Amino acid sequence: MSITLVQGLMLALMAAICAIDKCTEAFFWFRPITTAFLTGVILGDVKLGLQCAAIAELAFTGLLTVGGTVPPDGLMAGIMTTVLAYLNPGLTPEAALSLAFPFALLMQWVGIIENTTFAGFMPIMEKQAYKADIKGLWRTLFTGVGITAIIYAIIVFLSTYAIQEPIRLFVENFPEWIVNGFTVAGGIMPAIGLAMLLRVMMTTENAPYLFIGFVVATFVEMGNVLPIAIVGAAIAYLGYLNAKKQAAQGGNEDDGI
């Protein structure tokens, strides 16, 4: 079995479309169940596509984006699982999935590097926002989406049609410290965003709550920030009542004078 040029191009186009949805996370076209199935359709082996879709999706359902981390890329894993099972008859979908891992890893790296470097778009958009340049804002937005789509198209085309083996070797021999550097930087960068938010938000009066939230989140195991937010809302309500009371008293004093 081999993949024709037309099939390679169609896979690249499909990957680009799914990559747009990966940026929006709206319609779940980027899930392996979708990409593995569509790959099967393009390669003309729907049954294989379905088998690989089930295997790949179940493997990735546990891997969710939490906070700022990117899991090995499910979109790519779905495509490559079907492609590898198709190219190597006799390979089970499970084995194809594990062989697809280097490709998913490669796209994870690309995702981390994009999420790091796209920080450069923010000052541009900030300028456009203050100038009320709405067309400019959308142009920048689509530039980001377009870059992601094009990168996916190119890498999927190369991985499926052109140079599968060299890519696998590239991933296996890539100096890990470069990717690690980006990963660590990606872990640190939200600290800048949060610090900028605190610059407008934090006052000497509410600063203690930063430490309360931090300590509770550090020591209490929880799936997400919601429980703390509920406690926070309760405290905020008390603060609200206090502020109202003070305002009312302040008003009375003014009347007294």
| 144-163: contacts with other proteins (CB under 8 A) | 144-145
Per CB under 8 A, 6 contacts other proteins: no
Contacting residue, 226, 252, 255, 257, with other proteins by CB under 8 A:
226
Task: Specify the residue, 21 or 102, whose C-beta has the smaller distance to other proteins.
Answer: 21
Task: Give the x/- contact pattern for other proteins in 77-116, rule: CB under 8 A.
Answer: --------------------------------------xx
Q: Which of 223, 253, 255, 256 binds other proteins (CB under 8 A)?
A: 223
User: Is residue 1 a contact point for other proteins (CB under 8 A)?
Assistant: no
Number of residues that bind other proteins (CB under 8 A): 110
- Torsion angle of alpha carbons 53, 224, 229, 207, nearest 10°? -120
Which one, 57 or 73, has the nearer CB to other proteins?
57
Q: Which spans in 118-175 are helix H?
A: 121-130, 134-157, 164-173
164 sits near other proteins (criterion: CB under 8 A): no
The answer to whether residues 2 and 62 touch, using CB atoms and an 8 Å cutoff, is no
| Residue 149 · residue 107 · CB < 8 Å | no
What is the nearest approach in angstroms of other proteins to the Cβ of residue 249? 13
Closest by alpha carbon to 23, among 129, 152, 123, 131? 152
Contact pick of 4, 88, 98, 180 for other proteins (by CB under 8 A): 180
Contact 150, 16 (CB under 8 A): yes
CA 6 – CA 27 distance, rounded (Å): 26
Residue type at position 231: V
Tell me, residue by residue from 49 to 78, as one string, x for binding to other proteins by CB under 8 A and - for no binding. Answer: -xx-xxx-xx--x--xxxxxx---------
**Binding to other proteins, residues 230-249 (CB under 8 A):** 230-233, 235-237, 239-241, 243-244, 247
CA distance 249 to 119: 47
What angle, rounded to 10 degrees, do the helices at 74-87 and 5-24 form? Answer: 160
Q: In this structure, what token pair is assigned to residue 46?
A: 């729907």
17 scored as a contact of other proteins (CB under 8 A): no
Closer Cβ to other proteins, 165 or 254, answer by number: 254
- Of 2 and 224, CB closest to other proteins: 224
Give the span between the Cα atoms of 14 and 18, in whole angstroms.
6
- 169 near other proteins, judged by CB under 8 A: no
Phi-psi region at 70: left, alpha or beta (left = phi > 0; alpha = psi -120 to 50): beta
Stretch that binds other proteins, among 100-108, 156-164, 166-174, 217-225 (CB under 8 A): 217-225
